[in-house]
Structure 1
Amino acid sequence: MAWDVFNIIGTIAFAVSGASIAIERKYDIWGIYAFGLVTAFGGGIVRNMLLILPTSLWSESGLIKISLISITAVFIFPSVWFKFKKYWMVFDAIGLGAFAVQGALYVQSKGFPLSAVLIASVLTGIGGGVIRDILATKKPLVFYDEIYAVWALLAGCVIGFGWATKPLELYALFGCIVTLRVISVIYGWKLPHVSINRRKNFTEHS
């Protein structure tokens, strides 16, 4: 039951996120649906290609319908979504938390080892957003500007080590991941960067 709930939450959140980006980029209706679907299912497809089978996507007809309904809502009522544009990162946070937990649970249920659970959590959590940003000709934020994948990895660790197994514990983990993601955006938390100029100066002085 928990697995299904996270699947639905993540699908809606990322479908809305992808469709909103497409509208902002002034794409036509085809682009809007393409972006919404790619963002909603991209992470799961990448995970399945590496660990399981991509054909499992086609058995998710219910989730595909949910995704299409969410995208249609954004297309018909764009002003509603753009009115709260500054809160878009909340949809990303919700999608990240839901799919990170769902991805870890899914692979764990297949009997894969801890390493696969961690990889699945990250790929499912960030994969759709990365593909969306690439299609929108944007540098994926996860690789250079924001703490994103770390929170997905955290979810994988908690599930992989068996620290959260009951539904309430999983929902609490989901809430923590969403909260940490939102806080990291608000306060501008970043991972360490390496400056080429700084390394060059260090070499010259040594």
Structure 2
Amino acid sequence: MAWEFFSIIGIMAFAISGAIVAMQEEYDIFGVYLLGIVTAFGGGAVRNLLIGVPVSALWEKEMLFQIALFSMTVLFLFPNGLLKHWYRWGNFFDAIGLSAFAIQGALFAVEYNLPISAAVVAAVLTGSGGGIIRDLLAGRKPTVLKHEIYAVWAALAGLLIGFEIVTKDLYLYLLFIVITVLRILSYMYKWRLPFKSLQGSQQ
């Protein structure tokens, strides 16, 4: 039950997130669908490659593809006046997708009896891989590669699930809420990881 919930929520959230970015960049309808699909399924494809699962396994998720296409179609058909407000929610949907896919990725690794390190990697890649590909295709700097706190929350979910601290469905749902809220708070209050700039030293 938890697996299906996080798969559906993650697919919908990242598909909408990718579609919003595409419309912000004034892509045509093909670009909207392409960027949405890549955002929704790109992280899972990269994860499958690294943990030894055939990428072709994604094509067995026909229902999830239909959900992604339906979500983007509804968004595309929204009146422009309403879409202006939806643009402001891009980071909100991104946070939902990050949380849902991070948990789903960690559960994926645990199901295959992989070590804790694999659970963390699977959580980070599933939660942020699609967003990285989306930002690169849109000509933006990937959020996860900047000093903004993003993938850290996915890694936290992977650790908690990998160590089997969070196992029951109820606790997984609570973890989903906590990770989503933490990501939103880190964006709103501009929480940052330590970083070092070399721009001044180049002069």
> If the length of structure 2 is used for normalisation, what is the TM-score?
0.95
**Structure 1 residues 1-206: aligned runs within 5 Å:** 1-51=1-51, 52-77=53-78, 79=80, 80-196=82-198
Q: Distance in 1 between matches of 2:119 and 2:28?
A: 37
Paired residues, number? 201
> How far 1:111 moved relative to its partner?
1.1
> How far 1:49 moved relative to its partner?
1.1
Over aligned residues, Cα RMSD in angstroms? 1.4
Match of 1:147, SS state, is coil
Conservation of the 8 A alpha-carbon contact between 2:149 and 2:183: yes
Conservation of the 8 A alpha-carbon contact between 2:101 and 2:123: yes
Structure 1 stretch displaced more, 96-105 or 45-54: 45-54
Segments of 5+ residues of structure 2 without an aligned counterpart are: none
> If the length of structure 1 is used for normalisation, what is the TM-score?
0.94
Segments of 5+ residues of structure 1 without an aligned counterpart are: 202-206
**Quick one: percent identity of the two aligned structures?**
51
Q: Distance in 1 between matches of 2:98 and 2:146?
A: 17
Match of 1:196, SS state, is coil
Q: Deviations over 1:11-62 (max 9, x none)?
A: 0000000011111111111100000100000100000011111011010000
Q: Distance in 2 between matches of 1:197 and 1:186?
A: 26
Q: Distance in 1 between matches of 2:111 and 2:162?
A: 11
